[in-house]
Amino acid sequence: MTEEFHRIRRLPPYVFASVNQAKAAARARGEDIIDLGMGNPDTPTPPHIVAKLIETVNDPRSHRYSVSKGIPGLRKAVAGYYERRFNVTLNPEKEVIVTLGSKEGLANLASAITSPGDTILVPNPSYPIHQFGFIIAGASVRSIPATPNEDMLRALDRAVRHSVPKPTALIVNFPSNPTAYLADLDFYKELVAFARRENIWILSDLAYAEIYFGDKVPPSILAVPGARDIAVEFTSLSKTYSMAGWRVGFAAGNERLISALTRIKSYLDYGAFTPIQVAAVTALNGPQDCVADLRNIYRERRDVLIRGLHAAGWDVPSPEGSMFAWAPIPEPFRAMGSVAFSKLLLEEAGVAVAPGLGFGEYGDDHVRIGLVENPHRLRQALRSIKGFLSAHGVSAPVLPSSAKKPESAAP
């Protein structure tokens, strides 16, 4: 009875555990740790959404079981969002399902469509559930570059020609976590054409659709003609409306994939608490000033962070979207890898970041820095980082890299 369970054996040790333990130990010693490692929004949920939750929860009828597919009003609100935002018309009965955040939906769809031994194509580095949802379901994962350009398209072609068995699904995530890359509609058109030609499902993670900082507005892959033949898209209210703890998201797109996810979820849950779903309807259908306000908050934080890092001698590209900066480890520390560097930064500067290794082996020369503190705390963190870098011989200012093209993350 000592042998490890089969599915647990397929999961490696949690990469973030040692950094989290060091963070907890430092706080136990009374140290002030500025935590930029978690993608956990620190801004409050807009008041009108909270008010609707309170109003609904006071109705005893809302305390009963909900439905795993999501209440009709929320599925209609999701369809309305897609119509307004992406000019995509969805059938809320057959092409939309409410999920307990996008993470749960991705994991359960992986379970629904995967046979043991299937090959799945996943960007590396990428958000952990993108690969581990399928690994838990019994699939094998093949890494592809994380950049939305020819590198990814060439790697996809090689993977189809040289993988046995042939890949059955592809994950994409733009704006991406952790790299902050954005894709445009032309790229999605090439991706959809490829997937249709090769009979490969596409699972698109669009959780950061509304967090962008320039004129390049993230599109939906479903806006590509023919995409719904092979694609489903997941998104979430977590970042758009600062509703991370509420655990409400949705999937939209291919009817067969939505049906498979609906059937799996019908065995596993009764859906999110009804008042949360009603409040989510208010979020999607109500005033959207709060979304623009939140975008401006993240833009200000990004600018403070990137300017401060450059002034400290750390050349970090300015992200076009998401709530993260994907930071190459400064050269003097590059050889130690992201976990050791993150622990050293925590120990000597009191700043926590996420080691890139946690997002895949090709992320080990980066760390992810979250825009999850106000400008005052960010400046405090930057002063500590500057002192840390200076103590290790890194002090010369570098040119800003906001205009640089992202380097390829190709394996």
Give the pLDDT band (50/70/90) at residue 176. Answer: very high
Whether pLDDT at 62 is above 90: yes
Residue spans in the chain of domains classed CATH 3.40.640.10:
47-286
Pair 174, 218: CB distance under 8 Å: yes
Pair 162, 153: CB distance under 8 Å: no
Domain 6-44+289-392, CATH homologous superfamily name and number: Aspartate Aminotransferase, domain 1 (3.90.1150.10)
Residue spans in the chain of domains classed CATH 3.90.1150.10:
6-44+289-392
Q: Say if strands 119-123 and 140-144 run parallel, antiparallel, or are unpaired.
A: parallel
Residue 24 CB partners (closer than 8 Å, separation 6+):
none
Q: Give the pLDDT confidence of 177-226 residue by residue, as tens digits.
A: 999 999 999 999 999 999 999 999 999 999 999 999 988 999 999 999 99
Q: How far is CA 98 from CA 7, 75, 138, 319, in A?
A: 27, 7, 25, 29
- Write the DSSP string, 380-410: HHHHHHHHHHHHTT--------TTSPPPP--
Element (H, E) at 315: none
Give the pLDDT band (50/70/90) at residue 16. Answer: confident
Q: Give the pLDDT confidence of 116-163 residue by residue, as tens digits.
A: 889 999 999 999 999 999 999 999 999 999 999 999 999 999 999 988
Q: How far apart are the first and last CA of the chain?
A: 39
Pick the CATH number of 47-286 from 3.40.640.10, 3.30.70.1290, 3.40.50.2300, 3.40.50.1220: 3.40.640.10
Q: How far apart are CA 381 and CA 299, in angstroms?
A: 17
Low-confidence winner among 21-25, 84-88, 349-353, 378-382 (lowest mean pLDDT): 21-25
